[in-house]
Amino acid sequence: MKKRLLILGILLRSFILTGCSSNLTGDNKSTLTTEEKIEDFEQMYSEVEKGYPFLEVNKRLNGIDWLSKKEEFKEMVLETSSDKEFMYTLNKILRKLNKGHNGVISDKKVFDYYQKVYEPIGYFPILEDKDVIERYESMNEIKGIEKYEDVFKDIDTIDVMKGNIAYISIPQMNSASGNIDNDMIKIEKFLKNKNNYKALIIDIRGNTGGNDLYWMELISTITNKNYSCGGYTLFRNDSKTIKDYTSRRSENLHNIDELPDKILEKAPKEVPNMFTEFSNDNTYIKGKAKYPFNGNIYLLVDENVFSASESFAVFCKEKNFATIIGTKTGGDGYSVDPVLFKLNNSNLIVRMSSAMSLTESGICDEEEKVTPDLYIKNEDYYSSKVPLSVYVEKIKKIENIK
């Protein structure tokens, strides 16, 4: 399993929403000619065609043959009358891929944040391109978008039933304080004297991701058992953009023909022909809990669980670390960071999923997602959550708690 960077699913949700907002950034005037817009679209289309990993998955899940819609997409671009509308239209086109990690970076705050995260490790030199910087410096910031630090919420801990059920809420796979250790210290103190409770509830409903290191540290804080988890990351390295990216990541790649037969049996059928290379992903998690929890662990999930929080759900499922309760999750777990590329005329940055990740057993999480052990439907996808009391009652029955 590949260590992810601090790129939040939380930002992705804002990113997607701003893509369809009337406040979308950019000038209301046109600095691009029609020919330049079409050239940028053709470049974006080519990048998706050569490097995007989930074209066939999108067909199966959503009935959309994205590549076949090229002429329809071009007509949409031809109808744009300003740079802002062009940017909006590219986002609209990319949303038809039906995956949260794709889109045009359409706000200066988002661009600044990506610079801050990626500049020290050098994955994407285009973020230092003077023309790109000039493009984003010229943009207005979208109204209502908070500073990213302000989006983070604190974890919550509750002694639900003294002597029986403890509860921890994890709103994102990052600490509101900016320091993961602070959260782990709080959780460690909370678990003191709760070793022999019957149940520990970990609530990640609404958690759209963050940093995989967070949930790995969470596991280390809860248990004294060691875990080894692995998987496979598949790349389409016929794409120069993807090849340059894997090179900068110093990926240890193997020819796709070397993927084990038992993995191919469960992997999507297009894997042998669509992908060129893969990496073996292995992570060792050492249990370091001062107060290891000895009871049963229950993980609460919903459709919004995505990216790094999805990785945690996958781990819990594959390693039987927790009983999973809720609805089917949002996907894109066990994956590496999306790739960024520049559109040559507009100098806009496009974000695109860079790889297909398979779990240790060969499952493509983006397609299968995590199915709960106990299904509880969330009636309102966007706002309300099923009351915690509903889950507690279910768990009390399972644990035979009166």
Q: For residue 243, what are the contacts with CB-CB under 8 A and spacing of at least 6? A: 237
Nearest alpha carbon to residue 329 among 366, 348, 349, 301 = 301
Give the Cβ contact number of residue 219 at 10 Å. Answer: 24
What mean pLDDT do residues 21-30 have?
Answer: 49
- Which range has the worst mean pLDDT, 121-125, 147-151, 370-374? 147-151
Give the whole-angstrom CA distance, residue 355 versus residue 236: 7
What DSSP letter does each residue of 237-276 carry, written as one string? TTSHHHHHHHHHTT---EEGGGS-HHHHHHS-TTHHHH--
What is the reported pTM?
0.86
- Which range has the worst mean pLDDT, 175-179, 270-274, 343-347? 175-179
Nearest alpha carbon to residue 239 among 274, 268, 264 = 274
3/68: higher pLDDT:
68
104 touches 95 (CB < 8 A): no
Position 334 confidence tier, pLDDT thresholds 50, 70, 90: confident
What mean pLDDT do residues 154-182 have?
Answer: 96
299/148: higher pLDDT:
299
What pLDDT is stored for residue 150 in this prediction? 54
Chain segment 183-222, per-residue pLDDT in tens: 999 999 999 999 999 999 999 999 998 889 999 999 999 9
Nearest alpha carbon to residue 158 among 392, 394, 401 = 392
Domains annotated for the chain, with CATH where assigned, are 9-142+339-354 (1.20.920), 153-226+286-333+372-399 (3.90.226.10)
- Which range has the worst mean pLDDT, 140-144, 288-292, 362-366? 140-144
What pLDDT is stored for residue 15 in this prediction? 46
What mean pLDDT do residues 72-83 have?
Answer: 97
